[in-house]
């Protein structure tokens, strides 16, 4: 159900391991509607990575944007979700913070899961918010 609280894992979320899992998927092809290591779209990627740690995220970007806690961009930490307006005015793209101004995501424009910088002109202009799922 959209806007429902995220079911919590039975133990604390290991964000170090979560980021490691996300980075191991670099190079996986973009597939519209994809949610497996055979191919991901952006929200399928975040949903899959978090599921490996017992956290169920909603499937759509919009629903993921309503999940967890809103956080100040100055307080980002590994494993936080970043949201961007790429195809519409609201949140339409999502990635996972991996530290040092970087995030990993499944962008359709490049065709594979990859790492980008939040401070790059393209992403900074499209940033709409961040959420913490813990």
* Active site (annotated) includes residue 50: no
Tokens 């995030």 map to which residue?
Answer: 103
CB 43 within 8 A of CB 60: yes
* Active site (annotated) includes residue 93: yes
Considering 35, 93, 118, 131, which one is annotated as catalytic?
93
4 three-state secondary structure: coil
Phi and psi of 3, rounded to 5°? 80, 0
Q: Which residue, 102, 98, 113, is CA-closest to 26?
A: 113
Name the token pair of 40: 């991901």
Considering 19, 22, 35, 42, which one is annotated as catalytic?
42
Considering 95, 105, 106, 133, which one is annotated as catalytic?
105
The CA–CA distances, whole Å, from 24 to 41, 59, 96 equal: 16, 21, 13
- Bridge pairing between strands 69-70 and 81-84: unpaired
For the annotated catalytic residues, the residue numbers are: 42, 93, 105
């Amino acid at each position: 159900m959209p806007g429902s609280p995220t079911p919590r894992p039975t133990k604390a979320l290991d964000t170090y391991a979560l980021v490691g899992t996300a980075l191991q998927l670099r190079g996986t092809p973009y597939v519209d509607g994809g949610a497996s290591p055979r191919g991901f779209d952006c929200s399928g990627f975040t949903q899959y990575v978090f599921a490996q740690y017992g956290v169920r995220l909603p499937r759509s970007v919009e629903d993921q944007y309503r999940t967890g806690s809103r956080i100040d961009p100055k307080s980002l930490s590994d494993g936080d979700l970043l949201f961007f307006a790429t195809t519409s005015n609201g949140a339409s793209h999502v990635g996972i913070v991996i530290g040092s101004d970087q995030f990993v995501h499944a962008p359709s424009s490049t065709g594979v899961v990859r790492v980008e910088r939040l401070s790059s002109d393209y992403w900074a202009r499209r940033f709409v918010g961040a959420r913490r799922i813990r």
